[in-house]
Amino acid sequence: MKPVDEWIALGDELGPEAAKVLTPEKCRWLTTPDPIDVNDWNVAHRFKGQITDKVFDLALVRVMKAQLKGVGLGYYTQYAIHHARPRHYIIAVCLENENEK
């Protein structure tokens, strides 16, 4: 399982790597658009919508903490509304999917 920092560091390779994790053969509850456009909010929200809000929020907190070292949980709402990008949503879903295996 990749740590959050490795997912964030993937840059342009995030789409292909996410597709490997989010394939129907490897995941019991996600379907994968092919190819994944990590910069597309519609794609990000489709993935986000396939797991519970609580699970997604916990995973996105991990992404936030990896990006913004030392930030407190009180900043999460601001981060999710103003700073999180589609790629961060997709990373959160990948993290949770890897936890399910």
pLDDT along the chain (101 residues), means of 10: 92 89 69 80 91 92 88 85 93 88 63
**pLDDT computed for residue 29 by the predictor:** 61
Rounded Cα–Cα distance for residues 42 and 4 (Å): 22
Residue 45: how many other CB atoms lie within 10 Å: 12
Indicate the pTM of the whole model: 0.87
Rounded Cα–Cα distance for residues 12 and 54 (Å): 28
Rounded Cα–Cα distance for residues 36 and 15 (Å): 5
